[in-house]
Amino acid sequence: MSVSERLATRNLVLVAVAGALSLCIGVAAGVSPRYGVAGALGVTFAVAVVADVTLGVFLFTMLSFLEVVDAGSGALSFIKVAGLILFVSWLASQATRSQRESRSLLASSPGVAIPVILFVSWSVISIVWAVSSGKAASSTERFVLDALLFPIVFGAIRRRDHIRWIVAAFVLGAVLSAGIGLLQSGGARLAGGIGDPDGEAALLAAALMLDLGLIATLPRGSATKSLAVLGAVIMAVGLVDTGSRGGLVALGAGLVAAMLFAGQWRARAVQVALVAAVLVPFYLLVLAPSAAVQHLNENTTSGRTDLWKVGLKMLETNPVLGVGAGNFQVAEPQYVQQVGQITRADIIVDAPRVTHDTYLELADELGIPGLLAFLAIALGSISCALRAARLFEGAGDPSLGLLARMIALGLIALLTADIFISNEYEHLLWLLLSLPPAVLAVARSETRTRALAR
């Protein structure tokens, strides 16, 4: 077969595939417009990922904030399928890279890669002793998919502009999520594109830190800087409107960390913290929705303290092995008689809930070894971001150094919020954790290039 014939055949195949996809999307839209939109987004995402893994990570990051509009559920949800497409595209890109171009996450950042491997391995092993092995296997599958973000992001971010793209995608996704919430809240607590007020607030606190880094480094008077400022306002209003106490604590933790770790930007960090200390109470007193204010002023913990009592008793009973990945809700009714007086037995026995504390839940399910592995991942990622910042600043690039610092601060804010919510499966948390090793690799590469050029 000649070249022209092969090209003609390939084009016919592409037309046939495109036609079949269009027909499927049309049928799905006929069943429900929601399915049609999801199908169109899926095709667009798949094409973009195949074309460029970095673009795929950008879109995956942004779309991850829109879980409410996800047409699927369970194992076939859009975000899971998107993650698998992203992984396949990354594998293909790795296979086509030359040995000189390839990089090893394990060699570059062993302090992060090794704890990730240990964490996932321990979750797999926990299936053996889990109260419900099926539940443990399902939870482990989610951890594996989240852990795959580390090599994917490490392979996708290879230049300085890639760092800005992914940070911008995180911020843009958060702004869209908050905007959806502001349009739909109707006076209730804002849940945004995430669909949960506390989860939304945690991610908005992290995104605000990243956006502050963009604002500080963008050219003065530029349209992009004005848009970044507008985005910060939308996210700040959205965060307060969630009525999440954990979200406000996370924002405060991020601002305090900024004053400690901002380096040459410390004076500006103090100014931002003072402005926030004035504007947030003013907004709460004058403009915030009554539902958000009422929730912030509640004296109750909505059963959290009872769940924490059960969690602590479970940890005391199973300090090393835990009850198995994802098994807290399965096991918690067994402990209700052992914790003394509680006020919300219904959320433990009748409709068991998660602990509302990521770290306690990890300790309960995976024991202290699992918790320590997760903490090692978190601390290792923050350390990578701060080391990258020092390298960029030492090479005479303070703006990218600040952005690396703000990634660390975003992680600190998000990890602080996780004290009040069960967030261990949130792929945006894992995506943000996976970003610093890639940023550090770029910083090292640029440092070596500049040293050789001298």
CB 235 within 8 A of CB 176: no
Confidence of residue 2 (pLDDT cuts 50, 70, 90): low
Q: Give dist(CA 320, CA 183) in Å, integer.
A: 46
Give the residue with greater pLDDT, 100 vs 354. 354
Look at residues 30, 29, 32 and name the one whose alpha carbon lies nearest to residue 43: 29
Point out the least confidently predicted range of 34-43, 51-60, 259-268, 426-435.
34-43
Whether the pLDDT of residue 76 is over 60: the answer is: no
pLDDT of 306 reads 86
Whether the pLDDT of residue 345 is over 60: the answer is: yes
Look at residues 411, 409, 407 and name the one whose alpha carbon lies nearest to residue 429: 411
User: pLDDT tens-digit profile of 269-301?
Assistant: 899 999 999 998 888 888 888 888 888 877 766
* Average pLDDT over the chain, rounded to an integer: 85
Most confident option among 9-23, 32-46, 57-71, 403-417: 403-417
Whether the pLDDT of residue 344 is over 50: the answer is: yes
Confidence of residue 78 (pLDDT cuts 50, 70, 90): low
- Tallying the residues shown for the chain, one arrives at 454
pLDDT of 382 reads 97
Look at residues 450, 440, 451 and name the one whose alpha carbon lies nearest to residue 403: 440
Annotate 231-250 with b (16+ C-beta within 10 A) or e (fewer): bbebbbbbbbbbbbbbbbbb
Give the residue with greater pLDDT, 382 vs 62. 382
User: pLDDT tens-digit profile of 193-219?
Assistant: 888 999 999 999 999 999 999 998 898
pTM assigned to the model: 0.87
Percent with pLDDT over 90 in the chain: 53
Average pLDDT rounded to a whole number, residues 78-99: 70
Point out the least confidently predicted range of 64-68, 388-392, 402-406.
64-68
Average pLDDT rounded to a whole number, residues 155-162: 91
pLDDT of 13 reads 44
Average pLDDT rounded to a whole number, residues 43-49: 65
Look at residues 248, 224, 230 and name the one whose alpha carbon lies nearest to residue 178: 230
pLDDT of 288 reads 80
Confidence of residue 315 (pLDDT cuts 50, 70, 90): very high
Confidence of residue 7 (pLDDT cuts 50, 70, 90): very low
Average pLDDT rounded to a whole number, residues 180-192: 84
Whether the pLDDT of residue 75 is over 60: the answer is: no
